[in-house]
Chains A and B, each alone.
Chain A
Amino acid sequence: MSSVVQITGLRKQYNGQEVVRGVDLSVPAGSCFGLLGPNGAGKTTTLRLLLGQSPLNGGEIRVFGLPIPQAGRAVRARTGVVPQADNLDPDFTVAENLRVYGRYFGIAAATLDARIRELLEFVGLTDRANARIATLSGGMKRRLTIARALINDPELVVLDEPTTGLDPQVRHMIWGRLRDLRQAGKTLLLTTHYMEEAERLCDELIIMDQGRILEQGTPAALIRQHVEPEVIEVRGEENLARRALESAGDGRFEAVGDTYYYYTRDAREVVKRLEGMPGLTFLHRPGNLEDVFLKLTGRELRD
């Protein structure tokens, strides 16, 4: 399978501080590829670099086989971008935003009109075509930003935290649309710190922290590789919880604030024991990507 994005040894520093330290990655054509990491991991910087919006300090980037930043213009002509913060043009209506943006790509007026109709339909904003940006909700703005990113019928769509700050209805709608795009053969490259989003959408992902790649693989493989299949979360009196879990057997125990985590291959024994302890509340669930993420990047707060 050919790579749409090929990055080797990528380095970037701001004011002497290195924020991307030797990143290698390869995004296969037609896949949805996720970049996961806490704030400050270097995800957004990596995206800016691959769009030719920032000079690199080392390494090599090729998109569609073309060198970046030299071929930035040609690469951006075939790429759609959904930025982290909305930057819709407040001077214009919904449809005008798409039209003005489409002109930056040199799209002919007739083609543009047809595409605007299709895209408004695609993101469910047809009846808002003439609304001012200031009157849109956060979810509508995000959907419009996604429509805008598709105006040039891109082969690659880059999305920086596409669903941050949105309600569940909008998130599910956007996930559905992103799956449609993938079905249509487009390559998606997205950053997120919603593990659920990554698990649902991504064929493959990398976990980054402090400018480096920690892990790479499919969501299922990463979960298999790094966490036990079953997890029990317990809340309640500390001594009781410790007693119930620490003596439980070969599992892994972790205390975080007022919650106690127990990771194990077989939770039946512990579940039975916890059911007999009314002083504790517990949740028995499968291991997930969030467990992998927290295990690899630690639990300290980031800013």
Chain B
Amino acid sequence: MTILFLPRFQAAALAVWRRNTLVWRKLAGPSIFINFGEPFLYLLGLGYGLGLFIGEMMHMPYLTFLASGILASSAMNTASFEAMFSVYTRMIPQKTYEAILTTPLEVQDILAGEMLWCATKCVISGTAILIVAALLGAVHTWHALWVPPVLFLIGLCFSGMGLVMTALAPGYDFFNYYVTLVLTPMFILSGVFYPVTSLPVALQSIVQLLPLAHAVDLIRPLVAGLPLSNVPLHIAVLAGYGAAGYFIAVHLTRRRLLV
């Protein structure tokens, strides 16, 4: 018999978030170094290098165009990888959830805590990118201060989706399918490196169904200092994917762990 459930946010989820924060703090040095080092390479190498040939794209310097795309796509990657590889480690080999499930917490609390943590990680690494981009002169407005909360939302979106994969995964190799078939095409097609409008029209409408395109559309004007459009739509798409992922992941994870 399948028990119907109503996942609800519990303060208990914060205990899971605090657990992960404590682990992160132990390795904060190296991970902050990577958080700053990687965007430096990307933005200097691609932004300046390609920028020399490209000049402007959609009325902004290519460095700005690229930095805003990278902000959104790196949030996607951070959340997805944390929700897949790290969560899988805690769920299966490390048996962290087995221990947590003997406390008052339930699966819905654990996964809510994991999503909050993934989103937090996106804010940390994304803020580093934003600082690097600002130092390189790619950020054109104080509106960029809105970027971190948007990164949080992007983190919730992609961690929800990633948790579904984790609940289904028989092993780490399984994640390669999702990376190759979902994340990479989205990364290439969603307007990170070039405008979506340069794609064939049929493909453009498909891309508009993908969450990363909406993430880019929210972030880019905030970095470039251009007017935002369709904000409720973008937020709804990101929140919708995240919520759907959460509900499905809770259902599947319960089936997997509570046998």
Contact = CB atoms under 8 A, between A and B. Distances in A.
Interface of A: 14, 51, 53-55, 69, 72-74, 76-77, 79, 81, 83, 85, 87-92, 96, 100-101, 103-106, 152
A7 to B, nearest CB: 18
Contacts of B16: 104
B20 to A, nearest CB: 9
B23 A81 contact: no
A165 B258 CA distance: 27
B99 A77 contact: no
Contacts of B22: 91-92, 96, 100
Contacts of A53: 101-102, 258
A189 to B, nearest CB: 13
A18 to B, nearest CB: 15
A73 B15 contact: no
Contacts of A87: 94-96, 98-99
A83 B259 contact: no
Interface string B92-119: 0011101111111110000000000000
A217 B109 CA distance: 40
B1 interface: yes
A274 B144 CA distance: 94
A72 B96 contact: no
Interface of B: 1, 3, 11-12, 15-16, 18-19, 22-23, 26, 94-96, 98-106, 258-259
Nearest to A103: B15
B106 A72 contact: yes
A105 B103 contact: yes
Given A53-B102, A106-B12, 20 more contacts: A73-B104, A74-B104, A76-B103, A76-B104, A87-B94, A87-B98, A89-B19, A89-B96, A91-B26, A92-B23, A101-B103, A104-B15, A104-B16, A104-B100, A104-B103, A104-B104, A104-B105, A105-B104, A106-B15, A152-B103
Instruction: Summarize A's interface: helix, strand, loop or mixed.
Output: loop
Given A53-B258, A103-B15, A103-B18, A88 B99 contact: yes
A106 B11 CA distance: 9
B21 to A, nearest CB: 10
B102 A83 contact: yes
Contacts of B104: 73-74, 76-77, 104-106
17 contacts: A14-B259, A53-B101, A54-B259, A76-B102, A77-B103, A81-B102, A83-B98, A83-B99, A83-B102, A87-B95, A89-B99, A90-B94, A92-B22, A100-B18, A100-B22, A101-B103, A106-B15
A96 B21 CA distance: 13
Contacts of A72: 106
Nearest to B23: A91
